[in-house]
């Protein structure tokens, strides 16, 4: 098996991992599954295209700006679509219906603003090709690996070393106990939605130069949701591992069998693992809801 195949799989897996992290963070904090989370990838990719075209900012600064804008959008969505359902203790199916509605609103809104045609990022972002250990590697692929690793480290430092991060962990463990200690739970949940959406937006910007930016790329959220389930829903380490594993499995399957069947191969392995270990590779980590 070629090392280049593994690297390509890890690159795509990094994007899955960033999105899967958002799914797990949001679920662990609120108990809701935000199926519209995949649309944060769509909005991030399209915002990145606009920022690069209109402002001419360097790719790195554009990435930071999209992180912020996507986070603000995530906070807004939580307040409008999910908080009213949560505070009224409505049935969970109401949250599912609301998330499906947000998928349609965001996807169609993106098509209205940016059009239905795929948008290509500047070719210069793709970087150059060079040889490492006899294999051809894109410098952009290495950037994706490096950016993802940096975000993971920053996230861990944020969650473990800052008061806001510790408050997020407290809410994820128990809303009731968090309220008793004076933590503003609703605000923390909004910020968690924002952080998850910010990671999704960054994933969209990293994904678009490899493929394209369009109103319909939010379907990648389905694979990332599968990655979160594979690793253990609500488990952040599991989300990262599940995303990387899914990316590698896809790359290997596409090369050894056919790219036509890569989705079937990936989901087939997912089903097998969940049949053998329903809680995922790392087990579920779901806090106690109030």
Query: What pLDDT does 77 receive?
Result: 93
Q: How many domains does the chain have?
A: 1
Is residue 290 situated within a structural domain?
no
Is residue 30 situated within a structural domain?
yes
Q: Does the CA dihedral 272-277-279-281 come out positive or negative?
A: negative
Give which of 49, 20, 19, 15 is closest to 118, Cα–Cα: 49
Q: Does the CA dihedral 44-52-211-108 come out positive or negative?
A: positive
Is residue 234 situated within a structural domain?
no
Domain hosting 109: range is 19-217
Of residues 42 and 258, which shows the higher confidence score? Answer: 42
Is residue 243 situated within a structural domain?
no
The string of DSSP letters for 167-224 reads HHHHHHHBHHHHHHTT--HHHHHHHHHHHHHHHHHHHHHHHTTTS-B-TTGGGHHHHH
Q: Is the pLDDT of residue 288 over 50?
A: no
Is residue 274 situated within a structural domain?
no
Is residue 148 situated within a structural domain?
yes
Is residue 196 situated within a structural domain?
yes
- Mean pLDDT value of segment 233-261: 86
Percent of the chain with pLDDT over 70: 96
Query: What pLDDT does 1 receive?
Result: 53
- Per mean pLDDT, which range of 75-89, 210-224, 260-274 is the poorest? 260-274
- Give the end-to-end CA distance of the chain in Å, rounded to a whole number: 49
Is residue 263 situated within a structural domain?
no
């Amino acid at each position: 098996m070629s090392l280049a195949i593994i690297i390509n799989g890890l690159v795509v897996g990094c994007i899955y991992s960033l999105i899967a992290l958002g799914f797990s963070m949001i679920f662990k904090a609120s108990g809701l599954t935000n199926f519209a989370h995949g649309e944060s990838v769509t909005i991030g990719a399209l915002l990145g295209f606009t920022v690069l075209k209109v402002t001419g900012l360097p790719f790195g600064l554009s990435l930071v700006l999209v992180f912020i804008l996507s986070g603000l959008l995530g906070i807004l969505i939580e307040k409008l679509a999910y908080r009213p359902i949560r505070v009224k203790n409505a049935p969970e199916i109401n949250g599912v219906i609301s998330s499906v509605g947000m998928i349609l609103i965001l996807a169609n809104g993106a098509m209205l603003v940016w059009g239905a045609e795929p948008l290509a990022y500047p070719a210069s972002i793709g970087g150059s090709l060079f040889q490492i250990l006899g294999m051809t590697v894109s410098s952009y692929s290495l950037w994706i690996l490096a950016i993802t690793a940096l975000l993971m480290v920053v996230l861990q430092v944020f969650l473990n070393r800052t008061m806001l991060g510790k408050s997020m962990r407290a809410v994820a463990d128990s809303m009731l106990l968090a309220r008793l200690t004076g933590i503003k739970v609703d605000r923390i949940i909004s910020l968690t939605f924002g952080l998850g959406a910010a990671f999704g937006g960054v994933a969209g910007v990293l994904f678009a130069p490899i493929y394209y930016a369009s109103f319909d790329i939010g379907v990648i959220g389905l694979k990332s949701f599968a990655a979160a389930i594979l690793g253990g829903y609500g488990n952040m380490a599991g989300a990262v591992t599940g995303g990387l594993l899914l990316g590698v499995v896809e790359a290997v399957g596409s090369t050894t069998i056919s790219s036509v069947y890569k989705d079937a191969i990936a989901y087939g392995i997912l089903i097998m693992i969940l049949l053998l270990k329903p809680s995922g590779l790392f087990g579920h980590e779901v806090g106690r809801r109030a």
